[in-house]
Amino acid sequence: MHTIEKETNEMIVQMVRGFAEVHIEPYRKEWDDQQIFPVSVFKELGKLGLLGVLVPETYGGSGFSYHEYVTAIAELAKFDPGIALSMAAHNSLCTGHILQFGSEEQKQNWLPKLASGEWIGAWGLTEPNTGSDAGNMKTIAKEDGDYWVLNGAKNFITHGKSGNLAVVIARTGEPGTSNNATAFVIEKGTNGFYSGRKEDKLGMRSSETTELIFDNCMVHKSNILGKVGEGFKQSLKVLDGGRISIAALGLGISMGALEHAIEYSKERHQFGKPISSFQGISFKLAEMATKVEAAKLLTYNAADLKNKGKNVTKESAMAKYYTSETAVWVANEAVQIFGGYGFTKDYPVEKYYRDSKLCTIGEGTSEIQKIVISRNLLK
């Protein structure tokens, strides 16, 4: 990383930390216990430029690169992984899809609202019966004059209720055929477009996850991103970048859990000395730190390739797979180091432990990442 980038990254770390200490840390437990998505606080992130990190300044964004993006997500995840997940989904999926595949007019229309935080974005691919098997989705769009009529449902949608706009992938061709899906931008308030049940989750509870329902929802053809039939291929490209953001999320959780574990091991005394002086604990910390460093290198390597406009399918899958599994492992070890206190809500490590699991599932499970990696190796 160049000196200028390092300085920018350090500036982002200080900015996120300053914001989170005041606006997130004091309320983290309440949001987690009551499963509150703090819309007003989230919109404040927009004023800091964190809801349009990769969006060029022409469209009201920050115009940063993937390095700064990874840094911002990771730092935010140390304070509340749920808020970091929401920030990542808003940037990478919804805003990212419009940025990559929208026409000039569509970008001018929607990106300034999303980048500023005036509007919150959602992205709909997953369905109740098609998670990893997204090619066989049941949400169908049929052409009707200047409109397309959507019917079906999406689930596990971040900001499905609070979002002002959603990019939705619906099937416009026969199941099992190529080019059979299309991406539509649908604004809140469109007839036949509703949010459904809110999920009650193990972790990431401050990030809202709901269903989206389409009941003869009429969307004008001017709201199609790219061409009819390109939706699924677009989604795969969007997910390439999205996987880097989930890697950054896992990285932040790992870093946070490690920092708390180191601090606690120095403060906690047993048998007359700090537990960090026992090899059983110090070796745990050494292994945790090594894995966190490896996760960091994989994540920033994928970010670097993405910045250079190179193909990142394999590298982003590797970063996402390794970093998310590392997050679960490091959080587990942190709970162990805290002992009985690690099992209580008085200390932050139990939350890292619950939140980390989503990283191995969202935006392609660890098993799907292995398929992506192996296919690229065996080409």
Amino acid, res. 195 = S
Helix (H/G/I), strand (E/B), else coil: 67: helix
Give the DSSP H/E element, type plus range, for residue 184. strand 181-187
Q: Helix 231-267 and helix 279-307: axis angle, to 10°?
A: 150
Unique residue bearing structure tokens 């987690």 = 32
- DSSP β-ladder status, 193-198 and 147-158: unpaired
Q: Please, what's the b/e burial string for 143-166 (b: 16 or more CB within 10 A of its CB; e: otherwise)?
A: eeeebbbbbbbbbbbbbbbbbbbb
- Respond yes or no: is residue 363 known to be catalytic: yes
Q: State the Cα–Cα distance between residues 47 and 230, nearest whole angstrom.
A: 33
Buried b (16+ CB within 10 A) or exposed e, 192-220: ebbbeeebebebbbbbbbbbbbbeebbbe
Do 218 and 269 contact (CB within 8 A), yes or no? no
Separation between Cα atoms, residue 231 and residue 179, nearest integer Å:
7
Buried/exposed code over 7-18 (b: 16+ C-beta within 10 A; e: otherwise): ebbeebeeebee
- From the list 127, 315, 350, 363, the catalytic residue is 363
β-sheet bridge partners, residue 157: 210
Residue 352 to residue 321: CA distance in whole angstroms: 17
**Catalytic center residues:** 363
